[in-house]
Structure 1
Amino acid sequence: MSFRTLRKSEFDNGFCLQWWFSSANTYCGMAANQSVTGDHLFTFAKSYASFHGYISICVCVFGIITNIFNIIVLTRRHMSTPVNIILSWLAVSDIITMMSYVPFSMHFYCMYPDVNKTPDKNSKSWMTYMTFHINLAATTHTVSIWLCVLLAIVRFVHIRSPTKAFATRRRRMTQSKVLILLIYVWSAISLIPNYMSNELQENLNPESNETTYVLRDLRLGKNDTDALVLVNVWMYAVTAKLVPCLLMSIFGSLLIYNIHVKIRHRRKVLKISGANSMRLTEHSRTTKMLVSVILLFLVTELPQGVLIVCSATVKDFFDTVYLPLGDVMDIVALINNAVNFILYCTMSTKFRETFVHLFCACHFPHSNESIGYTLTDRLAKLDSHSNNNEHQNHINHVV
């Protein structure tokens, strides 16, 4: 779906597109005078919308495939850490989001790009799927951002209190799994007001006698906004955007500070050897990767949180600013879901070597030999080092 026109006559017909906090566009009514202050944004939205469906499908296909790679690599035995468990379930939530987005984008953007409502485009079955997609994407997106918060907290705790005790490591693994489960359950429960806000309405065209279906107009920024809608907006903005962004900023900053303090201390005390220098280089790459993951979420989520608050408090802001930015917010969120594989391969030697061993060894049988030992030997050494020397190598995991 897209903003195909800015003409007053088509707004009078009661059609517009609404991005509803879930990486999904929906239908709503729009008053005729709401296109005045947002002309430039709507013009941009109209231009980009013709490409959005195809771009989003390409991003989703790439993201689904690479996140499957992430899960396969991160769940290997020698990769088993609390952080990698979190990253695996982050990949799961991202896959669900993108799998739901593909049929939505194909139908409403590619197959029926025209702005007009038709019985085929706006059938009850497809609009029901849209409602399902909105609710599912809102849930999985909330799961992803809170998993990123958990990632920063767990990593910070590990760096502050590294341990080589097997029992402690197992306890932290169990705690991470429980917290992941709680995030999934809590995200679904907290979005119940969102599920209740999205209602289908039947729309009968008296001229053609055709029945189409649309989603109820939420009337954000109006004097007659429903109380349930306002509760939903504020709950979503605070619990799924602003608070997790604040926590990511705090723990991400503390994490970066503690890593640099420990690296400086080790340089002074240990008089590091060549091998330790290589290890510190890997530590630096790991730090940059974690910072990149956190920054991607902050860049994606924080502006949306601010825009949602403005939509609920500033008159006509939702229609003139938030709506035309809907497709842009969609594609930014989808790219954020899809790029983690690139970050892992670029910045983590352990992830990259494991991926090559799993997927490329059969194609390049001689490429795994390096200075007298094979990649399998290298992975075995990494596994042994992770299990027996975690205190000295506390930031040499994937993240």
Structure 2
Amino acid sequence: MPSHSLCDLDDFRNEYKNIHGYLSLTVCVFGSIANVFNICVLRTKQMRSPTNFILIGLAVADLLVMLEYIPFTVHRNVDPNRKFVQHFTYPWACFYKFHAYITIVLHSIACFLTIILAVWRYTYVSKVQAHGICSSLRHTVIVIIATYVTCPLLCFPLFAIFEIVPYNHTCKPNGEWVLEKDVPLYENKLNLTKMVMYVTSLKDPHNLSIWLYSFLMKMVPCVLLTALTYKIITALVETRRRRMKLLTSNSALEELHGKTKPNTVQLYKENQADRTTRMLLAVLILFLITEVPQVIIGIGEIGSALGESFLEECYKNLGE
């Protein structure tokens, strides 16, 4: 009787992993160039604003993620020697541990900066009492720096649960490792030997990584961003309704006193602000689109009574 599979994704994973290295490398190279251009443009004198400072913070986090991912994906997915035990050295295992930690840290920074961006824009659109704080360049820079300092500390427990483990693997004389299921095919033809390779393992008996990463770093930001996005859209619609009502009621008086030019300038500025808000809303919505599937998988891992089976058959097959 065939065993039941939770997620029949093994074939998908095996097919996709052949192109993932080249695809991710392409994304990282072009993404790094694009983020450098973003930073250069947003740093110009005429572009200085709290919103653009937050966008710079986001661009820096994304740039660091992509630059760090390039050596990782080359070594893991593109290097032709990845099927040899010499590929799994102790220095590379240390790099993998650093990679696992720093990518979570930088992703968390991007999440919280996106939330800050939404809060800042909401206070601008709705003109609440905190608008004075959120319109201050100094306060914005302090908040960005605090985010970059706090996230590594918040994620440090995840660094502690990654450990480097030496593993004796069956290999051919040239160092090419052999899958355990294929050992009987080779042992009568080759002098197989055991060689040491170093791998990074997650020692997490209490599922700390799932709770901290999936819940705190994924689910909470998505819930906050959903609420803030709704608030921004509501405030934007209400502001536009009031503006149209005011323009309609005062149009005759403005024409009588010849004040149409100043009002036209003000209207242009408000339309520019609306366009900026709509652009930032697109950023928030795109962020939610990319994060929600990960949240669903994470919640499935937290709530699943199947534990390791769900992790092995579903979570890892979608890990790339």
Question: TM-score surpassing 0.5?
Answer: yes
Aligned to 1:216: 201
Asked whether the 8 Å contact 1:60–1:99 carries over to 2, the reply is: yes
Equivalent in the alignment of 1:384: none
Question: In structure 2, what is the equivalent of residue 344 of structure 1?
Answer: none
Contact 1:233/1:308 (<8 A) preserved: yes
Q: CA deviation at 1:146?
A: 0.5
SS of residue in 2 equivalent to 1:195: helix
The residue aligned with 1:182 is: 146
1:201 aligns with 2:165: yes
**AA aligned opposite 1:153:** V
Counting matched residue pairs gives 281
Match of 1:62 in 2: 30
TM-score, structure 1 as length reference: 0.65
- Who is 1:290 aligned against? 280
- Higher-Rg structure is 2
Q: Any idea what the Cα deviations from partners look like across 1:156-211, whole Å, max 9, x if unmatched?
A: 11222289x9xx57972221111111211221111111101111100123642321
Matches of 2:312 and 2:208 in 1, distance apart?
19
Inter-partner Cα distance in structure 2 for 1:243 and 1:83: 22
Tell me if 1:310 matches 2:296: no
Question: Which has a greater percent of helix?
Answer: 2
Please state if 1:94 is matched with 2:62: yes
Q: In the alignment, which residue of structure 1 is the partner of 2:20?
A: 52
| Residue 125 (structure 2) pairs with residue 159 (structure 1) | yes
143-152 or 41-50, larger mean C-alpha shift: 41-50
2: CA distance between counterparts of 1:39 and 1:231?
A: 24
Unaligned runs of 5+ in 1: 1-32, 219-224, 328-399
Task: Tell me if the contact between 1:64 and 1:95 (Cα under 8 Å) persists in the aligned partners.
Answer: yes
Q: CA RMSD in A?
A: 2.6
In 2, distance between residues paired with 1:294 and 1:132?
Answer: 29
Moved over 6 A (4+): none
Q: Could you state the TM-score of these two structures normalised by the residue count of structure 2? A: 0.80
Instruction: Choose the corresponding residue for 1:72, options 40, 48, 60.
Output: 40
Q: 1:323 maps to which residue? A: 316
From the superposition, tell whether residues 231 and 296 of structure 1 become closer, same or farther in structure 2 (CA, over 3 Å): same
CA pair 313-269 structure 1, distance change in 2 beyond 3 A: closer
Question: CA–CA distance in 1 between the matches of 2:318 and 2:33?
Answer: 27
Quote the residue 1:231 is aligned against: 208
Matches within 5 A, 1:109-188: 109-112=77-80, 116=83, 118-161=84-127, 168=132, 172-188=136-152
* Conserved 8 A contact 1:112-1:121: no
Q: Which runs of 5+ in 2 are unaligned?
A: 171-191, 252-259
Conserved 8 A contact 1:131-1:198: yes
- For the 8 Å contact 1:143–1:184, the answer to whether it is kept is yes
1:271-301, Cα deviation, whole Å (9 max, x unpaired): 4876666556544432331121111211222
Q: Is the 8 A contact 1:263 1:280 kept in 2?
A: no
Superposed CA deviations along residues 14-58 of structure 1, whole A, max 9, x for unmatched, are xxxxxxxxxxxxxxxxxxx9x961563111111111111111111
> Distance in 1 between the 2:133 and 2:44 partners?
16
- Bigger relative contact order, structure 1 or 2, given CA contacts below 8 A and separation 6+? 1
- Per-residue deviation, 1:259: 1.5
Identity %: 28
Distance in 1 between the 2:19 and 2:280 partners?
32
Asked if the contact 2:96/2:200 (under 8 Å) is kept, the reply is: no
Q: Secondary structure of the equivalent of 1:205? A: strand
C-alpha distance in 2 between matches for 1:171 and 1:45? 47
Find the aligned partners of 2:21 and 2:78 in 1 and give their Cα distance. Answer: 6
